[in-house]
């Protein structure tokens, strides 16, 4: 008989209080995480973004820099996240013309004692919000959705791949 492993919240201590996870005995391993989101736009904002014709400048490059900067500040934004020595953060884009949508994908890499999932998620989210901020003058109905972890590897919990 297969017994289901009981879900344990790692950020709750024995007194049921929020607590930073103790990683002092964990080994340093290479960690990688990839996260993505979708930004849905109207025809006007989609064309401006794709042609890079905004009066505010290069939106995608600005969003890329914002995402990278945010990723480096994850432990300041998410209370129980550890500070990590990020080795690489990358933001890429894929246009989906059929949906007037851009997929924002971030990759975070570090050699550390804990994972980089939150750094990848923060990078993707802030890059998406930057796109919103720079296009909101022409499109108030921009929708950001499907912010999620696509992939992670490294550490005790092993590999995760979103189906």
Which are the catalytic amino acids?
133
Q: How many CB atoms lie within 10 A of CB 45?
A: 26
Query: Do the strands 86-96 and 101-112 form a parallel or antiparallel pair, or are they unpaired?
Result: antiparallel
CA dist 87 and 129 (Å) reads 24
Residues in the chain: 163
CA dist 132 and 144 (Å) reads 8
Contact present, 38 and 146 (Cβ < 8 Å): yes
Contact present, 150 and 34 (Cβ < 8 Å): yes
């Amino acid at each position: 008989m297969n017994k289901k492993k009981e879900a344990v919240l790692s950020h709750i201590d024995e007194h049921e209080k929020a607590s930073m996870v103790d990683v002092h005995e964990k080994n340093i391993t290479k960690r990688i995480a990839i996260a993505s989101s979708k930004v849905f736009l109207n025809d006007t904002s989609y064309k401006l973004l794709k042609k890079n014709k905004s009066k505010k400048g290069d939106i995608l490059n600005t969003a890329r820099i914002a995402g990278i900067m945010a990723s480096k500040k994850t432990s300041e934004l998410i209370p129980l996240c550890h500070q990590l020595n990020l080795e690489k953060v990358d933001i890429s884009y894929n246009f989906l013309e059929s949906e007037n949508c851009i997929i924002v994908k971030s990759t975070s890499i570090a050699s550390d004692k804990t994972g980089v999932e939150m750094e990848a998620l923060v990078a993707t989210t802030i890059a998406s919000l930057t796109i919103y901020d720079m296009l909101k003058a022409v499109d108030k109905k921009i929708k950001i959705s499907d912010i999620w972890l696509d992939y992670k590897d490294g550490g005790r919990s092993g590999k995760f791949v979103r189906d």
